């Protein structure tokens, strides 16, 4: 019997689709990518030039994604583009830099009356004059525009450190700030005056769903009180307790890179401190049902002291009688107390 030949089924992609490949070779004008079993792809001409900053960092064997422009060019190769792929990666880079509050070094290429122009990863960036540090700000006595421009031009070819202030991939807008670095340095300098454990008094400047922003000290600095650090009892909405302008005392929990985390809770008596003297395993205590869910119910015995009743630990007998509703008051048996993790398990 003649053996059957096995053929590999190839799904041929459409023009405009994105495929993966391996860098095979590159020169000054073209990049070749192995996209087996489809064959060989090439990035060249305008497509090569538009992605040159990305291509120069590629090595033979690197795995990359490309966009198909033409499936079969005059040389029998797949004509490909890296432009959109590069753009996605570049804007993701700026997003990460901004999220992580990192600084980058840029070389000034041009200047106009509004500020400075640079280029980062092939994207034109603008540094407004208002976002320059005191060192580089074009101060002139009479506000002469030509004198300001001359001072800005003195910065051409200089390298300065900046942070990403704003960006928009759609409009290709990238705004940088040198002033932000100076602000961070000032914050760290002010924060260095304080230590963990210090008690401060400050004004609430903003109330958000995750906590309170506080301004304190002279010169002033901002701090955050996370919702979990407001009180030992559960807080659902900080705005129900505090408003902008309120003066509060708080304890400094930690200081990281000039950012100060505060706690109001740390200045209050900890209800768990004497838990072993007040609550005993195996005994019954009256509690109030705060929440019920698919796994069980959260019970409050006093502000800051909570227990959890799994549905499986509710009485199997007379289930209708042991069905719990929010705000129900009932006696519960303590099964266990985990002081270290502040957990109490219950049964009925």
Report the CATH number at residue 292.
Answer: 2.40.50.140
- Residue range 270-322, pLDDT digits in tens: 888 888 888 899 899 888 898 888 788 898 998 889 899 988 776 554 454 55
pLDDT class for 112, splitting at 50, 70, 90?
very high
pLDDT value for 1: 46
Question: 86 or 82, which is more confident?
Answer: 82
Q: 255 with 289, same domain?
A: no
152, with CB counted inside 10 A (0-12, 13-18, 19+), is buried
Rounded-to-integer distance, Cα 186 and Cα 180, Å: 10
Contact 44, 72 (CB under 8 A): no
pLDDT value for 90: 85
pLDDT class for 141, splitting at 50, 70, 90?
confident
- Residue range 161-198, pLDDT digits in tens: 999 999 998 888 999 999 888 677 778 888 889 999 99
Q: Is the pLDDT of residue 325 over 50?
A: yes
- Residue range 195-241, pLDDT digits in tens: 999 999 999 988 988 899 999 988 888 899 999 999 998 888 999 99
Domain that holds residue 215: 192-267
Q: Does 297 fall in a domain?
A: yes
Strand partners, 173: 168
Token pair in block for residue 276: 């072993």
Question: 313 or 88, which is more confident?
Answer: 88
Strand partners, 337: 344
Question: 72 or 182, which is more confident?
Answer: 72
Q: 262 with 291, same domain?
A: no
Domain boundary among 167, 185, 203: 185
Q: For residue 43, is the peptide bond before it cis, meaning its omega torsion is within 30 degrees of 0?
A: no
Q: Does 77 fall in a domain?
A: yes
pLDDT value for 25: 92
Q: How far is CA 81 from each of CA 18, 53, 243, rounded to the nearest angstrom?
A: 9, 14, 54
Question: Mean pLDDT over all residues of the chain?
Answer: 86
Per-position b or e across 216-236, b if 16+ CB within 10 A of its CB: bbeeebbbbbebebbbbeebe
Token pair in block for residue 108: 């000034």
Q: Is the pLDDT of residue 113 over 50?
A: yes
Transcribe 92-140 into DSSP letters: HHHHHHHHTT-EEEEEEEEEETTEEEEEETTEEEEEEGGGS-TTTS---
Q: Read off the pLDDT of each residue in 331-336 and give the average, rounded to a whole number.
A: 90
Rounded-to-integer distance, Cα 138 and Cα 150, Å: 9
Collapse the DSSP code of 207 into the 3-class scheme (helix H, G, I; strand E, B; otherwise coil) and give the result. strand
Task: Please tell me the total count of domains within the chain.
Answer: 4
Rounded-to-integer distance, Cα 136 and Cα 116, Å: 11
Domain boundary among 250, 267, 284: 267
Q: Does 4 fall in a domain?
A: no
Q: Does 42 fall in a domain?
A: yes
Rounded-to-integer distance, Cα 79 and Cα 194, Å: 61
Q: Does 18 fall in a domain?
A: no
**Most confident by average pLDDT, 82-91, 108-117, 255-264, 304-313:** 108-117
Q: 107 with 64, same domain?
A: no
pLDDT value for 10: 58
Radius of gyration of the chain from Cα atoms? 32
pLDDT class for 158, splitting at 50, 70, 90?
very high
Q: 59 with 134, same domain?
A: no
* % of residues, the chain, pLDDT over 70: 94
Q: 281 with 219, same domain?
A: no
Domain boundary among 159, 185, 211: 185
Q: 212 with 261, same domain?
A: yes
Q: Does 46 fall in a domain?
A: yes
- Residue range 250-271, pLDDT digits in tens: 999 999 878 899 999 999 988 8
pLDDT class for 127, splitting at 50, 70, 90?
very high
Rounded-to-integer distance, Cα 27 and Cα 170, Å: 31
Which residues, other chains included, contact 126 with Cβ-Cβ below 8 Å and sequence gap of 6+? 114, 115, 116, 117, 173, 174, 175, 176
Rounded-to-integer distance, Cα 153 and Cα 108, Å: 9
pLDDT value for 121: 82
Q: 224 with 153, same domain?
A: no
Token pair in block for residue 57: 């960092």
């Amino acid at each position: 019997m003649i053996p059957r030949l096995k053929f590999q089924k190839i799904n041929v992609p459409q023009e405009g689709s994105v495929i993966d490949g391996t860098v095979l070779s590159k020169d000054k004008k073209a990049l070749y990518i192995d996209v087996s079993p489809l064959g060989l792809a090439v990035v060249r001409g305008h497509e090569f030039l538009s992605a040159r900053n990305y291509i120069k960092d590629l090595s033979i064997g690197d795995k990359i994604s490309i966009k198909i422009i033409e499936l079969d060019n005059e040389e029998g190769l797949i004509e490909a583009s890296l432009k959109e792929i590069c753009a996605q990666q570049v804007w993701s880079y700026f997003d990460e830099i901004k999220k992580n509050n990192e600084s980058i070094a840029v070389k000034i290429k041009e200047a106009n009356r509004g500020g400075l122009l640079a280029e980062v990863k092939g994207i034109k960036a603008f540094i407004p004059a208002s976002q320059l540090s005191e060192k580089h700000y074009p101060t002139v006595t009479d506000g002469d525009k030509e004198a300001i421009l001359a001072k800005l031009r003195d910065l051409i070819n200089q390298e300065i450190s900046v942070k990403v202030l704003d960006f928009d991939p759609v409009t290709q807008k990238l705004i940088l700030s040198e002033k932000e670095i100076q602000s961070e340095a000032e914050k760290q300098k002010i924060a260095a005056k304080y230590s963990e454990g210090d008690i401060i008094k400050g004004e609430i400047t903003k109330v958000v769903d995750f906590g309170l922003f506080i301004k304190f000290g002279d010169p002033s600095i901002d701090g955050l009180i996370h919702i979990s650090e407001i009180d030992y009892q559960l807080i659902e909405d900080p705005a129900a307790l505090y408003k902008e302008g309120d003066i509060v005392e708080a304890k400094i929990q930690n200081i990281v890179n000039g950012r100060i985390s505060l706690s109001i809770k740390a200045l209050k008596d900890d209800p768990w401190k004497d838990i072993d003297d007040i609550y005993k395993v195996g005994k019954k205590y009256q509690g109030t049902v705060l929440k019920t869910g698919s796994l069980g119910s959260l019970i409050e015995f006093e502000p800051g002291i909570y227990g959890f009743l799994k549905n499986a630990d509710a009485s199997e007998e007379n289930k209708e009688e042991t069905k719990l509703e929010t705000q129900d008051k009932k006696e519960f048996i303590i099964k266990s107390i985990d002081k270290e993790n502040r957990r109490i398990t219950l049964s009925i």
